[in-house]
Amino acid sequence: MTDVRQSVELFAGGGGMALGMREAGFEHTSLVEWWKPAARVLRHNAERQPTLWKPDSVIENDVNQAVDELGERGTVQLVAGGPPCQPFSLAGTHAGDSDERNQFPSALRVVRKLRPELVVFENVPGLLRPTFEPYLDYVKDQLRRPDIKPLDSDELWDHHHERIRASKEKPTYRIYQEEVDAADLGVPQSRKRVFIIAIRADVAGAGTWDKISTTHSRDRLLHDQYVTGTYWQAHGLPMPTIPARLVRHVARLQLTGVDEKFERWRTLRDALRNVPEPMATDDDTEWPDHRAIPGARTYAKHTGSPMDMPSKTIKAGVHGVAGGEAMLRELDGSVRYLSVREAALVQGFPQDYQFPGPRSRVMGVIGNAVAVKVAATIGLALLEHTGL
């Protein structure tokens, strides 16, 4: 495996996927992001740390408008990103799909142009709902045989799909689908996401990819909390009473033990262990974006994240701040909002990675990101498997 491989990042957001793939060994030639608050984060951090990616590599534009700026076939080894794909009516939708909420057509245009060895697309679990399954199959079949393009912008997607399926051409890519909970990979957050992985058929190991191996488990966390108590000892806390909803489960763990190959889930308390309390201002250069936000309160279905479990999913929220889900809850029931820095740490962003802009916007940037460690795990596994 060589030290560096080239990558194009689509729908790059605030850089979660890009940072993870960089950690895995990819160097970004382009990061495409149309939303100004997110592009600002990418460019700001590049200017502060030129080793991340070049400021000029950040293309603040719609992916469909940026295709011609991304290089030629053979210039990159990876195309990665999370194509937005909000619900839309499938009936009568054209293969080119003019609905701007669905960006898979744009992402597939980039794959057709660059023909990288690897493709990684990320999306929410809703992508797997039964009503969307026919279109998801269409997306994957386009990846398998990208040379079979839509005839024109008026061809209906299901007609295009029929032509792809009827083709006798050998697949250009082998396609795999992963559903990953970030907590199972050691991220202090329960965050389920779907990844579509494509490996070009001429790449070593293209036909033998296996699932990403999980490394952490809920059972191990509960065992360490309520069977051995080592979790509480590590945090200098007395063991609390076992919650009623967990009594039977813990009793089973006392009888059966736990699979030692797994580490315990990392909790919000683990993630924030060495983080000072949020501050009155943003003046601290060691802990940027760590300003306290007053007024935290719970309400129906928004009770915050218990400190001694992985955080609930960090969300973008309708207006950039996801209400009670952007706060933590202590053992005594007290709550407070997560600072921008704390939310970023839960997503895996480095301590010195900064988020300029209003909280409502940068929380949206953070909530939309791929957890850094998840991207790094997938990137490393692909490079090790293929030997690229």
Residue-wise pLDDT tens digits, 35-52:
999 999 999 999 999 899
Per the domain annotation, does 168 fall within a domain? yes
Nearest to 190 by CA among 306, 322, 313: 313
Q: Give the list of residues 6+ apart from residue 4 with CB closer than 8 angstroms, or none.
A: 25, 26, 27
Q: Are residues 176 and 228 in the same domain?
A: no
Alpha carbon 265 to its chain centroid, in Å, reads 18
Q: Mean of the pLDDT values across residues 128-150?
A: 92
Q: Are residues 16 and 133 in the same domain?
A: yes
Residue 105 CA: distances (Å) to CA of 78, 109, 367:
18, 6, 24
The single residue listed with the structure tokens 């009623």 is: 244
Confidence of residue 237 (pLDDT cuts 50, 70, 90): very high
Say if residue 73 is in the same domain as residue 133.
yes
Question: In angstroms, what is the C-alpha Rg of the chain?
Answer: 22
Of the candidates 374, 304, 388, 380, the one whose C-alpha atom is nearest the C-alpha of residue 342 is 304
- Mean pLDDT computed over 47-60: 95
Q: How many structural domains is the chain composed of?
A: 2
Please say which residue of 200, 234, 261 terminates a domain. Answer: 261
CB 104 within 8 A of CB 83: yes
CATH number for position 124: 3.40.50.150
Q: Are residues 97 and 113 in the same domain?
A: yes
Contact assessment for residue 9 and residue 21, using Cβ atoms and an 8 Å cutoff: yes
**Domain interval for residue 223:** 216-261
* C-beta separation of 341 from 289 below 8 A: yes
Of 261, 293, 323, the residue that ends a domain is 261
Going by pLDDT thresholds of 50, 70 and 90, the confidence category of residue 321 is low
List, for residues 5-19, the tens digit of each pLDDT value: 999 999 999 999 999
Q: CA distances (Å), 93 to each of 140, 145, 153, 223, in order?
A: 17, 20, 10, 51
Regarding whether 111 and 142 lie in a shared domain, the answer is: yes
Residue 239 has pLDDT above 80, yes or no: yes
- Residue 238: burial class (beta carbons within 10 Å; 0-12, 13-18, 19+): exposed
In this structure, the answer to whether residues 24 and 165 fall within a common structural domain is: yes
Q: Average pLDDT of the chain? A: 91
Same domain, 245 and 200: no
Task: Give residue 88's pLDDT band: very low, low, confident or very high (50, 70, 90).
Answer: very low
Q: Is residue 105 part of a domain?
A: yes
| Per-residue pLDDT at 3 exceeds 70 | no
Q: Are 111 and 184 found together in one domain?
A: yes
Distance CA 176, CA 304 (A): 34
Residue 94: predicted pLDDT: 53
| pLDDT for residue 1 is more than 90 | no
Of 76-90, 175-189, 353-367, the range with the highest mean pLDDT is: 175-189
pLDDT at residue 320 in the model: 46
Residue 146 lies in a domain: yes
User: 84 and 176 share a domain?
Assistant: yes
Q: How far, in Å, CA of 259 to CA of 236, rounded?
A: 25
Least confident among 126-130, 164-168, 367-371, 377-381:
126-130
d(CA 324, CA 182): 21
**Domain assignment present for 141:** yes
The mean-pLDDT minimum among 116-130, 175-189, 231-245, 321-335 falls in: 321-335
Percent of the chain scored above 70 by pLDDT? 93
Check residue 310 and give its pLDDT: 97
d(CA 162, CA 182) in angstroms, rounded, equals 36
pLDDT at 319: 46
Within a domain: 355: no
Does a structural domain hold residue 32? yes
Residue 345, amino acid: L
Residues 173 and 42 in one domain: yes
Query: What is the pLDDT at residue 326?
Result: 85
61 and 153 belong to one structural domain: yes
pLDDT of residue 129: 87
Please indicate, yes or no, if residue 250 is contained in any of the structural domains: yes
Do 92 and 206 fall into the same domain?
Answer: yes
The 3-class secondary structure across the chain, one letter per residue, is CCCCEEEEEECCCCCHHHHHHHHHCEEEEEEECCCHHHHHHHHHHHHHCCCCCCHHHEECCCHHHHHHHCCCCCCCCEEEECCCECCCCCCCCECCCCCCCECHHHHHHHHHHHCCCEEEEEECHHHHCHHHHHHHHHHHHHHHCCCCCCCCCCCEHHHHHHHHHHCCCCCCEEEEEEEEEHHHHCCCECCEEEEEEEEECCCCCCCCCCCCCCCEEHHHHHHHHHCCCHHHHHCCCCCCCCCHHHHHHHHHHHHHCCCCCCEECCCHHHHCCCCCCCECCCCCCCCCCCECCCCCCCECCECCEECCCCECCCCCCCCCCCHHHHEEECCCCCEEECCHHHHHHHHCCCCCCCCCCCHHHHHHHHHCCCCHHHHHHHHHHHHHHHCC
Residue 89 has pLDDT above 50, yes or no: no
Instruction: Say how many C-beta atoms besides its own lie within 10 A of residue 5's C-beta.
Output: 21
Which of 134-148, 265-279, 290-304, 330-344 is the least confident region?
A: 290-304
Domain boundary among 227, 261, 295: 261
Query: Are 331 and 308 contacting, i.e. CB atoms less than 8 angstroms apart?
Result: yes
pLDDT at 98: 47
Residue 314 falls within a domain, yes or no? no
